[in-house]
Chain A
Amino acid sequence: MSHPQAATEFLKDQAKAKWHDETLWFVRDKRDRISKTIPEWEELRNLASQIKENVLSKLDVYLEEFERNAQKNGIQVHWAKDAEEHNQIVFSILQKQKCTAIVKSKSILTEECHLNPYLEKNGIEVVDTDLGERIVQFLNQPPSHIVLPAIHLKKGEIAELFHEKLHTEKGNEDPTYLTHAARLHLREKFLKAKVAITGVNFAVVETGEFVVCTNEGNADMGVHLADVHIACMGIEKIIPRRKDLGVFLRLLARSATGQPVTNYNSHFRSPSPGKEIHLILVDNGRTAQLAREKFRNSLKCIRCGACMNTCPIYRRSGGYSYGSTVPGPIGSILSPGLDMKKHSTLPFASTLCGSCSDVCPVKINIHEQLYEWRQEITKTHGELGKGLSMKLANGIFKSPLAYKISGNLMRTALKTLPKSLIYHPINSWGKGRNLPETPKESFKDWYLKNRK
């Protein structure tokens, strides 16, 4: 389904769509307020951007050095060129452990690799332990937002789901009651799991350690009780120095949810005695994106989700309308690199207002890259519906006479034409857009009258 089609589906429930828009704006507003309490905020963004640019300019050197240091610490390092190899590595570790049930904390990478269905097909029970992820897992849905996985659901829907799955009281929608029911349910899973999987927020070259941030403490509950910790990371998560964490941890939670830091920030350097840590370094399209000079710096992303919360399209179309693991503006510049045909409508799901670039903590020029992708896609897949009207407009703007005549005509026509003609199916500009009131005279006429 294209983005406009999926967005139309989302907008059918207007009250819910409005709530979704307002809820994400609330998160965006919290981010604004907290960022303004840090006088050096813009300087931090610059530093974060420069650190990541340095990383991308010598990623091969850093990855090798990181691997050496991690191995010295007793971490077992694996490399996966794509999703399939990543999934196979995870499964082979589980087989070696004779493990048939795992707990997993939030990892967008494992979503990207479709790890859950792969493991389930091989007879492994996978339990997502982040509350939002557990909710969407019960519904057999992917997360609709990378930080707030169940943001598209209302508490009534969750109450109904928990009544069915966890036998909570029917109709009890109280978030505290529902969260505590999930706490009891997941504790049981934590206590039984022999293997725990987590994502990685940052991997530090000079120390060979990696950092995982959560508010719930679910990543730590899993790994410290299990015998084996498997951490999965994209190769772009590298940062050179431990002190760089100071910059990134200051930016991450403030940008994501408007809080000063996540409540748990765990630094994993060596396994506990008698236990194992496996780290999987995954490419899955990242080296290809690195080779695309115009889109290279999309790999600076630290997955805070700020661009989603601010995006007027994301807020009004929902995460699922993008049909890609990472939705929103950043997803729309990452996903076409993975499959341009499948994701060809995503770079057009933007007003190019630039708000995404303004809030991005690592200063990715997201809206400019959206524009660049449009050029690439139009070259490859030909012109879309808007092409014809653009050609017509091009002809009109080229000739001053045509411009004058058409302006006069349109001012009259738009007032008198029936709506059905303007908002006609073949006029894709009319879909979801209202025309402003037409002025009585042209700017040129007004200027000639008023310039004295």
Chain B
Amino acid sequence: MSSRESILNAIRGIEKEEKPLPELPLFGISEDVETGFRKSIEGNKGYIVSEQEFLNWLSEASFPKVYSASSSYASISTLSLPEDPHDLEDLNLAILEGQFGVAENGAIWLDDQQLPHRAIPFITEHLVIILKKENLIPTLHQAYDRIGLDYSGFGLFVAGPSKTADIEQSLVIGAHGAKSLRVVLC
């Protein structure tokens, strides 16, 4: 007998009464979504910026390697998308569009449509996500309601820069992934 069959048979052999699957309410939040989202992103050590603040920061930083997957900022790209994501190892900045943002925790949803390589939000040194205010929702319940059963090979909730507290619980930003996250809320 295969392990698959032996595992399934072992489970089938246990006498169990079927328990019901509960319906899930769509819980909300008490504050408005923009205030909540701002607080969450800042709590996660990201920044919320206006378009002007973003452009000012960009010209000051003058990064050599920038890639924008957002068509609105295509002119900022200094490179075209390589075939192999390993070639992005020294990418300074990636600009991506977010589908929607969750106020309660700052999570922003992206899937294969926004990610020409799945490695981009992780391998880049700095990450900027463009998000429309009208696409802010209260909690993860509304988020999954919105995603529904839509197909994407990969989907990501990103809520802040890469971080760790593995050394004496001291928070350090920039563990392996992006060292900063800026959300351009427009």
On whether the beta carbons of A130 and B123 are closer than 8 Å, the reply is no
Bound form: Cα–Cα A290–B13 in Å:
11
Tell me the number of A-to-B contacts counted with CB atoms below 8 Å. Answer: 241
Given known contacts A221-B123, A224-B122, A290-B14, A263 and B167 CB-to-CB distance under 8 angstroms: no
User: Cα distance A175–B146 when bound, in Å?
Assistant: 40
Residues of B within 8 A of A392 (CB): none
Q: Which residues of the other chain, A, contact B104 by a CB distance below 8 angstroms?
A: 250, 260
Residues of B within 8 A of A150 (CB): 166-167
Which chain B residue lies CB-closest to A291?
B14
Q: Is A270 an interface residue (CB 8 A)?
A: yes
**A209–B102 alpha-carbon span in the complex (Å):** 21
Chain A contact residues: over half helix, strand or loop, or mixed? helix
List, in ascending order, chain A residues with CB within 8 A of B166's CB.
130-132, 135, 148-150, 179
Contacts of B123 in A (CB 8 A): 221, 224-225
Task: Point out the residue from B7, B89, B163 that lies within 8 Å of A263, measured CB to CB.
Answer: B163
B21 touches A50 (CB 8 A): yes
A264 at the B interface (CB under 8 A): yes
A120 contacts the other chain (Cβ, under 8 Å)? no
Closest to A254 in B: B105
B53 at the interface (CB under 8 A from A): no
A146 to B19, CA, bound (A): 29
B176 at the interface (CB under 8 A from A): yes
Residue interface mask B114-146, A partner, CB < 8 A = 1: 000111011100000000000000011101110
Binds B, one of A58-66, A349-357, A416-424: A58-66
- Candidates B119, B145, B169; contact of A221 at CB < 8 Å: B119
> Contact flags (1/0) for B11-25 with A, using CB distance below 8 Å?
111101111111011
* Chain A: minimal CB distance from B147 (Å): 7
Contacts of B43 in A (CB 8 A): 259-260
With known contacts A221-B122, A224-B85, A215–B19 Cβ distance under 8 A = no
B158 near A264 (CB under 8 angstroms)?
A: yes
Given A245-B140, A266-B156, A287-B11, are A179 and B16 neighbors across the interface (CB < 8 Å)? no
B183 on interface, CB distance cutoff 8 Å: no
Residues of A near B157 (CB, < 8 A) are 249, 261, 264-265
Given contacts A246-B143, A261-B157, A267-B156, contact A57 B167 (CB under 8 A): no
The answer to whether A179 and B172 have CB atoms under 8 Å apart is yes
Interface membership of B174, Cβ < 8 A? yes
Please determine whether B11 and A179 come into contact, CB atoms closer than 8 angstroms: no
Cβ–Cβ contact A131 & B175, under 8 A: yes
Q: In the complex, what residues of B have CB within 8 A of residue A241's CB?
A: 21
Determine whether the beta carbon of A246 is less than 8 Å from that of B153.
no
Select one of B6, B21, B162 contacting A216, CB under 8 A: B162
The closest CB in chain A to the CB of B156 belongs to A266
Contact across chains for A58 and B105 when beta carbons are under 8 A apart? no
> Which listed residue, B156, B159, B174, touches A179 by the CB 8 Å rule?
B174
Q: Is the CB of B164 within 8 A of A266?
A: no
Q: Is the CB of A81 within 8 A of B3?
A: yes
In the assembled complex, the CB of A272 is this many whole angstroms from the nearest CB of chain B, namely 6
A259 contacts across to B, CB distance below 8 A: 43-44
Check A129 for interface membership: any CB of B closer than 8 A. yes
15 A-B interface contacts by CB (under 8 A): A50-B20, A51-B22, A59-B11, A79-B2, A79-B3, A176-B172, A178-B167, A179-B175, A191-B86, A215-B163, A263-B44, A270-B154, A287-B14, A290-B11, A291-B13
Query: Which B residues have a C-beta under 8 Å from some C-beta of A?
Result: 2-4, 6-8, 10-14, 16-22, 24-25, 27, 30, 40, 43-44, 85-86, 89, 102, 104-107, 117-119, 121-123, 139-141, 143-145, 147-149, 151-170, 172, 174-178
